[in-house]
Structure 1
Amino acid sequence: MLQEEGRPVRERVEEQGAQWLSARDDLEQWLGGHGWRATVYAGDDPRIGHGRTVAPLPACWLATAALTAGER
């Protein structure tokens, strides 16, 4: 999302009135380096809907993370 190919997504988000705050291309590895056990899902992955229909989104992801004790 930080590379040039992510520009259209960032622009679309801003056109819709939302503010682009941050992004990482290596989210699982980055969180892991800080003691978190993380999983990243695509924004249209049915697993993030918890049984509900997931609306189609521009390329985006949902990350879940848990801080592991003693791994900081």
Structure 2
Amino acid sequence: MSFEKDDRVVFRDEHSEHDGEVGTVTQKMETMFGEATYTISFEDGQETGIAADALEEADEDDVDAADADAE
């Protein structure tokens, strides 16, 4: 799946402090192999160089839960 700037996504990486968090795509970069990597911003930081397979589209429940946690 491909994502675009400002898409809300759930990040899945058990080695990251942001695992399971909802973030916003702030940048999409193409590698020299034609694959996309992303920069994702979270409320308390960001991750760069994220492959699409570590992301999933955030649904309304994910976004609502993230917004409630932010308050």
TM-score (norm 2): 0.32
Greater share of strand: 2
Greater share of helix: 1
Bigger Cα Rg? 1
